[in-house]
Chains A and B, each alone.
Chain A
């Protein structure tokens, strides 16, 4: 079944010209974070009521007034203070590993935090965050009304662990380099245009659809196989794409 929500990314470019992406938080993780935060506010509300029970022993009116004000302050200020102190993360967002950031990928300022939270009542219209949810679903960056006003986005905080280097290096052995004389012959026989086409095919492989990619690498691999024959035990297990990859490495690698 096709998902209603497709993972979106915030595309950014640093002043040095480097492009990178930040994965945007999906609606479900944002909603779960909101529920957790509501639970935190409810617990705070219960604590306030208990504390005001003590004040009520002296003045019931003062206790009721303070309860009203403190509950209002907690509901209004919880998200603001939590996002400010938690660098864009409330308790719910921390647990769901999401974070509020500036739309330019920078940490958020206090004014952005205040405005995105002041506009929550508008996002809640007419009920249950319907307006905010619909605006977020329609927005390319998943921004609710408050996010649009404050120029903020909610991103997923990535796994920080480095990749498994052993896994990364596995399969990188180029069996064709085990035969330097055949590699040298390949360099002699491959025309620069064909080498360029092979390199282009590797660089742009993601832009090709699956069928076209399989077909292109099959054709290229056949051309290379026809130029120089490597011993079967070294190349028979290679896919067409890996054969082209190994060939390109031989052709372009500085000796």
Chain B
């Protein structure tokens, strides 16, 4: 088709001007409450402009015009074919109490794998330290390898939490932010087809297993439980949930048992990933507060029984929350 450019522009320019006005309006007000007639008129303008683009697309001399029309079509397309809004997550409270546990349950296998990898790491850490006690400095972080558990317990009992009494707020904030970063990083490493997440889960397990064995062998099991359980009963599951999210991401990349294209598999899990990441962050805020304001106080300031009991209750509540939360809300 040979185009009479004069006539073509004469007929088409008013349409483009009208479409531009409509687009400017839409881009300033994404939810304009248009009635049906106005929406249909906008769609007609888009169709007409698309047809004009089809007419000029082979006119290589008209690059500028083609670019202008492509831009109009692209902007209109983005407004017309907006994907349906993501399922409403409701209010914040409903999102945390219902959507979060529901998302965790939807990916139960990934959680099982996350726990298994962590436990495997724990066993490896404990066995490694048992076989080669000289590896303690290499296996244990935070200077734990430099002292015996008994020495540390003695020191803790002497200082009675005074070392952080003037800095509990800062300590708590540092714990929250550091743990949240670690959790998000564990999730993000799911993009290594899950391998990075697997390594981090296993490595965290190794550290815990080695620390636990060190204290148990040194006869400080009660101190260990009293120190770890109040915050660890939330913090450790939070890291496991982050690992679960990372494994979900890795699985979507690999696509075992799912014939959808990769981008559709990823698209399908995005809302759950966001929900799980948000839920994990909330749990870690709680764990950070408990670790700073409660875990660091030992006997005789706070009896071990109380600390252990508190940790067990937390763990039970978390289990109940994750298994039952949002169970009655089928739409989540």
Contacts and interface: CB of A to CB of B under 8 A. Distances in A.
Contact of A69 (B47, B73, B177, B274): B177
B9 interface: yes
Interface in B88-119: none
A253 B249 CA distance: 58
Contacts of B168: 61, 65
A40 to B, nearest CB: 20
Interface stretch (A28-36, A110-118, A229-237): A110-118
Interface stretch (B126-134, B140-148, B181-189, B214-222): B181-189
A18 B2 CA distance: 20
A119 B4 CA distance: 52
Contacts of A109: 83, 86, 270
Given A103-B263, A121-B181, A122-B189, A203 B58 contact: yes
Nearest to A246: B2
A149 interface: yes
Given A18-B50, A18-B54, A149-B249, 11 more contacts: A16-B47, A20-B70, A66-B169, A66-B173, A87-B30, A118-B187, A118-B188, A122-B185, A122-B188, A122-B191, A169-B5
Chain B facing A: main interface SS: helix
A253 B4 contact: yes
Contacts of B65: 163, 168
Interface of B: 1-2, 4-6, 9, 13, 16, 20, 27, 30, 47, 50, 53-54, 57-58, 60, 62, 64-65, 67-68, 70-71, 73-74, 77-78, 81-83, 86, 166-174, 176-177, 180-181, 184-185, 187-189, 191-192, 196, 249, 263, 266-267, 270-271, 273-274, 277
Given A12-B77, A248-B2, A252-B2, A118 B30 contact: no
A44 interface: no
Interface in A232-255: 248-249, 252-253
